[in-house]
Structures are given as C-alpha cells and as structure tokens.
Amino acid sequence: MKEKKIFNIALIVFLLPTLYINFLVFSSYKIQKFLLTEFNSGNFQESTTAYFDNFNTDFPNIGVTTIPIDHFLSKYYFLAEDYEKALKLIESGNKANPYLKSGSLLKAEIFDHLGVIDSFNFYSKDAFNKMPRTPRHFVLYSKSMVGQKKPLELISAYKRIQNEKTPDYHYVFITSLGELVKEKDSLKEFIKSIKYKFSNDQLVKLTADYFLYGQKNIEESIINSNRAKELYAASNFTESLSYFQKASKLNPGDYTNFENTAMLMIELQQPQKSINILKNVVDSMIRPKKDYGKSEYLLGYAYLNLNKKDSACYFLSKSTKYNFKGAFKLKAKNCY
C-alpha cells in the first residue's frame, strides 16, 4: 500500500511539468492562430496586442510554421512605431531560428520605412539571396534595385525566379524594370515572352503593354476602345470602326481591338481587309487560350463573304475546336 502511494505521488510529480508544458503549447497555439492569420493577410489588428501581456514567447519560441514568434510580435511594435522594440524582437527571433530569413525581411521593411537606405539595401538583398522564392523578398529587393539604379542586377535576380507561376513576381519585375530603363527596345522581346507566358493574367498583360507601348498610349487606347463600343451599341458602325482603328494603333498588342476592327470591316463590306488583320492576330499576336476561336470564326465569316467556302470551312473548323459557340451554327449551315 505504501509503495503504491509513493508510486502515485511520483507519477503526479512527473506529470505536472508535462501538463504545464502542454498547457503552454496549447495557449500559444490559440494566440498563434490570430498572429498567423494577420501575418499572412497583412491586416494587423490592434485588439490582438491584448494577448501579449500574458503570452509566454519563451516556450514555444517558434511558431507552427517555423517562423519565430518574436518575429510575429515585432510587426505589431513596428506598426505602433516602437522601432527599437521591434528590432530587438527580430534579433531574439533570429536566435530562435537562424535559418529562416524572415528577420531580414522584417528589418528591410523597417529600414525602408525609416529611410535608412544602406541597411534597407543590405537586408533586402540578404532576404532575397537566402530565400528568393518568397514573393515579398523579391518585392523589396526589386525596390532596392530601383533605388540603386541597377537594372542588370534586377534582371539577374529575376532570372532566378522567372519560372515561378505566381504572377506577382512578374508584375513587380516589369514595373520595376520600366522605372529603371529608358532605352527599352533591346528588352521588348524578353517582356513579350513574359506577357505570353502570363497571357491569362490581366495585370501582367497590362503592365507589359505599358512597358512595350507606353502608359499614355495604353490609357488613350482604352478610352478610344470604350468610345468605339458605345458607338457600336448605337449602330454607328463607321464611327465605331474609326475609334477601334485608333485604339489598335495606340496599343498594337491588344488583339481585341483588331478583332473588333475586322468584325466591323466585314459588316461594312470590306472582307478582304478584315482577313489581312485577322491573319496577323492568329499568326502573330498574344492571346490567352480561353479567347482562341473568335478570330478563326471571323476569318471563316469573311471568307464566306468572298464565296471562298474551302477557306471559310477550314477556319470555322478551327474555331469549333476551340469551342467558340458562334462557329458551330455557321459551320453546320455552310460546311456539310
């Protein structure tokens, strides 16, 4: 009996530290849920800081995603403009996990905000070099390259991550490069290759067009295109055609204006002119795959207007392969 009592006491003594450790971990995980959500979204709430007074960051000192907990906390102090405290927390977090470069990223953000340029350049480069496939690292390093006017280093950095599928990398690169270089001719094919790769992303496409044709031209092209659509809706086809042609000249990379120009030319009994335009779209212009089919359909329609049924049916068949709805009816009527 006495031995059993001793055993029970020993078991309790052994379990108490374990229970306490589990309690600390459980409490930490509950708070980390808020920290991680706000860290990932960039939407930091002041109400979250109410947890800090009773938050044991010594154990565990690393979060569930291996980011040091002090790095999470440093962001709140940075936003509260307590920069010294934020930097101290970054240092203690670096000791907890010296292999993760979130500390360099956070320091780069602070020094960028404070205008301490040399430190910003150093830490943004350090973060990118160690973890280049983190989008925020590339964003800050690109900003550093722009500030230092180093286009060749920016291009070299981009080539390390050019196969990443996240569009943010490519949008940031094109925007940054556009700020750095005045003579763009030698880089246009490079930018076109990025535009082609991300032809389904409107922001990358628009940024590439800014680089290739100039922001003012693109903005004026959009104005002319919108005016052309208004005139088309009012059945003023001749005036609508004129505005689509202006839009096409201002932005030679937007295939939609060329398609609309060709469509109106067919309506205005100019099918041969429309064919010349549409063949250029099909053969040379960058289109997202989801938009394949319309130009092929219009080519088929134009050839029917010229009584060239073989050519018409060839392009209508191509259009139906891309599942363009209008082509099925026209093909059924003319090609069987």
pLDDT digits (tens, 9 = 90+) for 20-41: 334 334 344 445 555 555 555 5
Plot region of 56 (φ>0 → left; ψ -120 to 50 → alpha; else → beta): beta
> Mind listing the domains of the chain with CATH numbers?
1-100 (no CATH), 216-334 (1.25.40.10)
* pLDDT over 90 at 177, yes or no: yes
pLDDT digits (tens, 9 = 90+) for 195-220: 999 988 999 999 999 999 999 999 99
Q: What is this structure's pTM?
A: 0.76
Instruction: Please return the burial class of 281, using the count of CB atoms within 10 Å of its CB with bins 0-12, 13-18 and 19+.
Output: buried
pLDDT digits (tens, 9 = 90+) for 246-276: 999 999 999 999 999 999 999 999 999 999 9
DSSP state of 76: H
245: Cβ contacts below 8 Å, ≥ 6 apart: 261
Structure tokens, 284 = 């040379």
Sign of torsion, CA 14 16 20 23? positive
User: Measured at the alpha carbon of residue 166, what is the angle toward residues 128 and 281, in degrees to the nearest 5?
Assistant: 130
HSE (CB half, 13 Å, CA atoms) of 22?
5
